[in-house]
Amino acid sequence: MKEYGLYLDGEWRKPATGKAFVTQNPATGEALAFFLGGAAEDVNQAVEAASRAFPAWKNYPPPKRGEILLKAAAILRHRKDEFGELVTKEMGKIIAEGKGEIQEGIDFFEYIAGEGRRLLGETTPSELPNKICLTLRQPIGVVGCITPWNFPVAVPSWKLGAALIAGNTIVFKPASLTPLCAAALIEILEEAGLPPGVVNMVTGSAEEVGDAIVRHPGIRSLSFTGSVAAGKDIYAKGASLLKRVGLELGGKNPQIIMDDADIDLAIEGALFGAFGTSGQRCTATSRLIVHEKVYKEVKEKILGRTKSLRIGNPLDPEVAVGPVAGKEQEKKILDFIKIGIKEGANLLCGGNKITEDPYGKGFFISPTIFEASHGMRVTKEEIFGPVLSLIQVKGFDEAIAVANDVEYGLSSSIYTRNVSLAFQAMQALEAGLVYINAPTIGAEVHLPFGGVKSTGNGTREAGTEAIHEFTEVKSVFVDYSGQLQKAQINES
């Protein structure tokens, strides 16, 4: 198997400590590659390399930065099938989703490359004659990007692409479950012509590498996607050093089905939202909130469809549900299913680890549906697995109240033919994303992605908002009057 070190200053190097770990295929248990984990000393070297590279990269014309990202997109497009298979092998999502994730990386690099010709500021009139006012967006400096395992190419593409087009240099820590996808992305950026030191990757544990990135005084901004607990810790530590911190955290996403909905369409959406990526999306549908008039029909149809979903090796294009990402993730989900049963939720299907051949070496959990009362832990807490709770409500107002009564606010959905209810839901749902007659999925790359409440701290990824996370605003005043003019001072 291939062994990977750290990517520092344009070279692959062995870390100071050399702690090795293996990345595995969660469907088969097959070892894919060896990685060497770093430590604080290696983070120091990464920051030094990024700091040296920053002045030249900052002054490199943004459209030229965009050309490098466009070339990276072209490489990804040419090798889409290969890299889609890599995502599937290392993370476990089905092959259609693996290739879809690569397409998302392509789309974002192409989109954000165009921002290199904009990096929009504002121009405004002055209160004084012969004077103009404007704003510029400038890079922050060295930024730290810490990414999750569930979208091992797409989320790094969002963060790295936006930070790079804005002119920042980067210290990047990928999740230890999926470092091979991260290494492949680094190799693509290198092939595309990214100068040495502009992106540096340090693999290793959150306790050693992640914490060193968060605490390093040379890193001026942090961008993190992961759990709420980890996000709060990073936010507090970053704030103590007055760092800019961007967080994208958890979700407990609702799909509402009203009594006038297209039921079959709504069930298609719920199946994809709940069990796509085996529920391992921050946007996964974890609560199906159903009007009492159609509850029985929805329950019967979704149970029938769920039981017919094919589970297996995610490289098989006929498979609909693959494994969860690893042993710890599997245990967490199974423990939560036990909690649901203990607190009185009615287990309608699934709820078990699949152990028979050929699944025994992997981490497979049957798609699980609970019939639950709002307020149970399975309806309030993020599970991050193939677990869906059905909740019956009497009408629209109760549906909205139940949907909003969680600590998260990422993605939300309502199925209805009533245009009035649809527009009311757009306003009333407490979420960063609202879908009408579509499931709780992510955003298209040209619109902002992020949430409210415990889902984040106000930053957004993708769209033009992505630039805001990685830039400082500078106000500029140009006085061409040829004389001293004193704003707000009346000299008459």
pLDDT in tens, 104-157: 999 999 999 999 999 999 999 999 999 999 999 999 999 999 999 999 999 999
75 DSSP assignment:
H
Residue 273 maps to a domain: yes
pTM over 0.75: yes
Do 121 and 259 fall within a single domain?
no
- Calpha distance 93→97 (Å, rounded): 6
Do 81 and 227 fall within a single domain?
yes
Kindly report the length of the chain: 492
Residue 447 maps to a domain: no
| Contacts for 168 with CB less than 8 Å, ≥ 6 apart | 54, 57, 139, 140, 141, 142, 143, 221, 470
The predicted pLDDT at position 491 comes to 62
Residue 481 maps to a domain: no
Residue 442 has pLDDT above 90, yes or no: no
Q: Quick one: which of 198, 204, 161, 2 has its CA closest to 71? A: 161
Do 261 and 244 fall within a single domain?
no
Q: Tell me which H or E stretch contains 394.
A: none
Structural domain range at position 338: 253-436
122 is catalytic: no
- Summarised one tens digit per residue, pLDDT across range 315-343 is 999 999 999 999 999 999 999 999 999 99
Do 363 and 242 fall within a single domain?
no
The predicted pLDDT at position 490 comes to 62
Burial of 283 (0-12, 13-18, 19+ CB in 10 A): buried
Do 224 and 323 fall within a single domain?
no
Do 323 and 418 fall within a single domain?
yes
**Contact indicator for 207, 177 with CB cutoff of 8 Å:** no
Residue 441 maps to a domain: no
Residue 76 maps to a domain: yes
Residue 104 maps to a domain: yes
Asked, as a colleague might, if the bond just before 195 is cis with ω within 30 of 0, I would say no
- Summarised one tens digit per residue, pLDDT across range 457-468 is 999 999 999 999
The predicted pLDDT at position 413 comes to 98
Residue 254 has pLDDT above 70, yes or no: yes
Do 214 and 345 fall within a single domain?
no
Do 218 and 343 fall within a single domain?
no
Do 233 and 272 fall within a single domain?
no
Q: Which of 408, 436, 464 is the last residue of a domain?
A: 436
Q: With cut-offs at 50, 70 and 90, classify the pLDDT of residue 166.
A: very high
In 275-386, beta strands by DSSP E: 285-291, 346-349, 368-371
Residue 255 has pLDDT above 70, yes or no: yes
Q: Which of 385, 405, 436 is the last residue of a domain?
A: 436
- Counting the structural domains of the chain, the total is 2
- Summarised one tens digit per residue, pLDDT across range 207-247 is 999 999 999 999 999 999 999 999 999 999 999 999 999 99
Residue 324 maps to a domain: yes
φ, ψ of residue 287 in degrees (nearest 5): -135, 125
Residues pairing with 136 in the sheet:
474
Do 235 and 264 fall within a single domain?
no
- Summarised one tens digit per residue, pLDDT across range 74-103 is 999 999 999 999 999 999 999 999 999 999
Of the residues 115, 248, 382, 461, only one is catalytic, namely 248
The residue type at 323: P
Residue 193 maps to a domain: yes
Do 271 and 323 fall within a single domain?
yes
Measured in Å, how far apart are the chain's first and last C-alpha atoms?
Answer: 81
Q: Domain containing 92 — which CATH number? A: 3.40.605.10
Of the residues 101, 190, 208, 282, only one is catalytic, namely 282
248 is catalytic: yes
The residue type at 410: L
**Contact indicator for 57, 42 with CB cutoff of 8 Å:** no
- Calpha distance 415→257 (Å, rounded): 5
**Contact indicator for 120, 134 with CB cutoff of 8 Å:** no
- Summarised one tens digit per residue, pLDDT across range 398-412 is 999 999 999 999 999
Do 203 and 302 fall within a single domain?
no
Q: Domain containing 412 — which CATH number? A: 3.40.309.10
- Calpha distance 50→219 (Å, rounded): 9
The predicted pLDDT at position 492 comes to 54
Question: Across the chain, what does the average pLDDT equal?
Answer: 96
